[in-house]
């Protein structure tokens, strides 16, 4: 079937008039403009000099980091008004719009949504993202994550996923896709062929999805097929190998020839397009990741991505150099004119499917701050965020009789803060242990935050310093997964783990994890353990209500919070 016919089918569904716009626009572009259109760059500021430099590049799109609403409105208006071909304005809209707008609604991370066991909230996440993104003039969500959190040691998937159950991941991913795209915002399911099996990070190394072809199809394949059938317009390809499918589709491959998703023709053209039937636009994950250059030289890797089936390249190491790599590949015939034009057609078809040319003509492409302030984090959106917090917080283990935690029962609390340094936090996590302390004090508790004491083995403070002066011990951990960090585990103070669980049999101990759901691996004998899947104000308010017995714990863990350890159940 010809490409012109394909873009009239799912997921683009272009009209004859839109198809004409795609091909007329393509035919009017120079070769250099086509090469530039393959790239989606990034913006951190609305500084006009910076934006002028980006606009002069005529790139296909850009991704925004979190900014104030006024800055985002200025950025979007400047870029769209200085772009002959309207741009994609993208963002990592996984848990809400807080990663794009500093006041955007944080609905709840995907694992929190999964913990509600209600697909309605996956739809609500898509709706709220769609409404806020559309108001801000943004049109591409690098979400949902449909990775499956199979390995608790994986340092990057974690709460970004809908958990470890493939059926739930498929259903909730599809619900997000269907809803967000109703608002003129393209979904991008990621990270093909699927993260969460091994314990390595594709930001740092080419990682491996080691499932058999049959296991993959029953899990990741199901998630991708379900979201494709739901109409997802785009797929983000990662730097993750899937050796079983690569070998099945090309039995002659040697081990050293197996490539990760974004560089693999077997995985993109044969598996994703032919086996799973995806007809939309494919973009790489960040091309700055070491998982790309672990596979081959960068000058060869970028053209290989395009030839494998990627239509766009996300970010650059050095834009002029990366443009040169693609330009050289086109001029030498490494990337054929046919392949280049196919990518351009799919990029333009996506813009047409989002009605960007029509919005450019009508003026709808340009956001206003007045409208943004009416939509972003409005009362309805904030109420849904509160509902998700209430429905998701999970009591994983409970010591009989510990609850409710009230000032009458436990007037004196010793709180152990377990938190990454402020410069180490990522994915929206902030220094939030202090916010828990403030809430407890407001409820009337006397809270002492543990500080390491001087001394070493033999002359440490006596146990009675704790047992005589406190009624309850609370641990609050705030360790978020993030790129460039290979392990998310508890670290303890000197000497000899001075802040570890030494008083389990002396008084009640409660462990609260604000981010990582897997800390039972390191505190297996704790008898009361809670996962909140985040630390927003709405989540912390709901947590205090549950601790004090004003609200029931309702969440169900979407993963094995016991990490497979039998003693963690004790």
As annotated, the active-site residues are 285
> Mean of the per-residue pLDDT values for the chain?
96
Radius of gyration over every alpha carbon of the chain, rounded to an integer in angstroms: 25
Q: pLDDT > 70: what percent of the chain?
A: 97
What pLDDT shows up at residue 215? 98
What pLDDT shows up at residue 430? 53
Rounded Cα distance between 314 and 22, Å, is 22
- Residue 61: phi and psi, rounded to 5, are -170, 180
- Two tokens at 422? 């402020």
User: How many angstroms from the chain centroid is the CA of residue 325?
Assistant: 29
Rounded Cα distance between 454 and 21, Å, is 73
Mean pLDDT of 449-468: 83
- Is residue 100 within 8 A of residue 506, CB to CB? The reply is no
Distance from first CA to last CA of the chain, Å, rounded? 60
What pLDDT shows up at residue 422? 43
What pLDDT shows up at residue 536? 96
Mean pLDDT of 322-338: 98
Q: How many CA atoms lie within 13 A of 386 on its CB side?
A: 10
Helices (H), 376-517: 379-392, 433-442, 464-467
Kindly report the number of other CB atoms within 10 A of residue 148's CB atom: 27
- Is residue 180 within 8 A of residue 191, CB to CB? The reply is no
- Give the pLDDT band (50/70/90) at residue 1: confident
The label of the residue with tokens 């993208």 reads 90
Q: Taking 70 as the threshold, does the pLDDT of residue 483 lie above it? A: yes
At 521-532, the pLDDT tens digits run: 999 999 999 999
What pLDDT shows up at residue 455? 65
Kindly report the number of other CB atoms within 10 A of residue 32's CB atom: 12
Provide the 3-class DSSP secondary structure of residue 30: coil
Mean pLDDT of 308-335: 98
At 85-117, the pLDDT tens digits run: 999 999 999 999 999 999 999 999 999 999 999
Q: Taking 60 as the threshold, does the pLDDT of residue 321 lie above it? A: yes
Q: How many CA atoms lie within 13 A of 317 on its CB side?
A: 15
Q: How many CA atoms lie within 13 A of 126 on its CB side?
A: 28
Q: Taking 70 as the threshold, does the pLDDT of residue 224 lie above it? A: yes
Continuous segment of H or E residues that includes residue 374: helix 369-375
Mean pLDDT of 161-171: 98
Q: pLDDT > 90: what percent of the chain?
A: 92
Q: Taking 60 as the threshold, does the pLDDT of residue 537 lie above it? A: yes
At 33-90, the pLDDT tens digits run: 999 999 999 999 999 999 999 999 999 999 999 999 999 999 999 999 999 999 999 9
- Is residue 491 within 8 A of residue 484, CB to CB? The reply is no
Kindly report the number of other CB atoms within 10 A of residue 401's CB atom: 7
At 407-458, the pLDDT tens digits run: 999 999 999 999 876 434 434 445 799 999 999 999 999 999 998 877 666 6
- Is residue 366 within 8 A of residue 81, CB to CB? The reply is yes
What pLDDT shows up at residue 495? 81
* DSSP line for 137-168: T--EE---B------TT-SSSGGGSS-S-HHH
- Two tokens at 531? 């996962």
């Amino acid at each position: 079937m010809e490409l012109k016919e394909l873009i009239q089918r799912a997921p683009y569904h272009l009209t004859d008039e839109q198809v004409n716009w795609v091909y007329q626009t393509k035919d009017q572009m120079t070769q250099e403009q086509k090469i530039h259109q393959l790239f989606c760059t990034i913006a951190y500021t609305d500084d006009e000099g910076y934006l002028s430099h980006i606009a002069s590049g005529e790139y296909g799109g850009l991704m925004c980091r979190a900014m104030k609403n006024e800055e985002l409105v200025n950025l979007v208006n400047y870029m769209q008004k200085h772009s002959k071909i309207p741009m994609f304005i993208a963002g990592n809209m996984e848990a809400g719009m807080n990663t794009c707008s500093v006041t955007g609604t944080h609905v709840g991370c995907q694992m929190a949504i999964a913990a509600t066991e209600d697909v309605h909230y996956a739809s609500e996440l898509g709706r709220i993202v769609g409404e806020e993104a559309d108001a801000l003039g943004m049109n591409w969500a690098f979400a949902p994550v449909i990775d499956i959190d199979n390995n608790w040691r994986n340092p990057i998937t974690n709460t970004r996923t809908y958990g470890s159950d493939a059926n739930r991941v498929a259903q909730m991913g599809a619900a997000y896709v269907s809803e967000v795209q109703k608002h003129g915002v393209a979904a991008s399911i990621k990270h093909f062929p699927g993260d969460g099996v091994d314990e390595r990070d594709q930001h740092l190394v080419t990682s491996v999805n080691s499932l058999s072809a049959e296991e993959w199809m029953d899990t990741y394949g199901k998630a991708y097929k379900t979201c494709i059938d739901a109409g997802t317009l785009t797929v983000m390809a990662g730097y993750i190998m899937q050796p079983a499918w690569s070998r099945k589709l090309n039995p002659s491959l040697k081990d050293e020839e197996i490539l990760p998703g974004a560089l693999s023709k077997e995985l993109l053209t044969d598996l994703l397009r032919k086996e799973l039937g995806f007809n939309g636009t494919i973009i790489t994950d960040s091309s700055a990741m070491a998982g790309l250059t672990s596979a081959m030289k960068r000058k060869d890797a970028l053209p290989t991505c395009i030839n494998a089936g990627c239509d766009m390249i996300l970010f650059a190491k050095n834009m002029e150099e990366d443009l040169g790599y693609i330009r050289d590949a086109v001029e030498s015939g490494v990337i054929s004119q046919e392949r280049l034009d196919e990518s351009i057609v799919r990029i333009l078809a996506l813009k047409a499917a989002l009605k960007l040319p029509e919005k450019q003509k009508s003026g709808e492409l340009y956001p206003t701050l007045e409208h943004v302030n009416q939509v972003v984090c409005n009362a309805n959106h904030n109420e849904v965020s509160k509902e998700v917090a209430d429905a998701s917080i999970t009591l994983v283990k409970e010591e009989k009789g510990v609850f409710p935690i009230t000032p009458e029962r436990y007037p004196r609390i010793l709180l152990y803060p377990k938190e990454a340094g402020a410069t180490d936090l990522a994915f929206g996590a902030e220094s939030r242990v202090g916010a828990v302390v403030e809430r407890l004090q407001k409820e009337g508790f006397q809270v002492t935050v543990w500080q390491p004491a001087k001394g070493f083995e033999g002359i440490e403070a006596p146990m009675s310093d704790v047992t005589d002066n406190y009624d309850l011990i609370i641990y609050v951990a705030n360790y978020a997964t993030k790129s460039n960090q290979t392990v998310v585990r508890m670290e303890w103070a000197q000497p000899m783990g001075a802040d570890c669980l030494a008083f389990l049999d002396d008084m009640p101990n409660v462990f609260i994890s604000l981010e990582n759901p897997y800390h039972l691996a390191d505190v297996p004998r704790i008898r009361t353990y809670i996962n909140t899947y985040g630390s927003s104000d709405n989540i912390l308010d709901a947590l205090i209500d549950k601790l004090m017995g004003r609200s029931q714990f309702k969440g169900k863990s979407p993963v094995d919070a016991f990490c497979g350890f039998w003693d963690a159940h004790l």
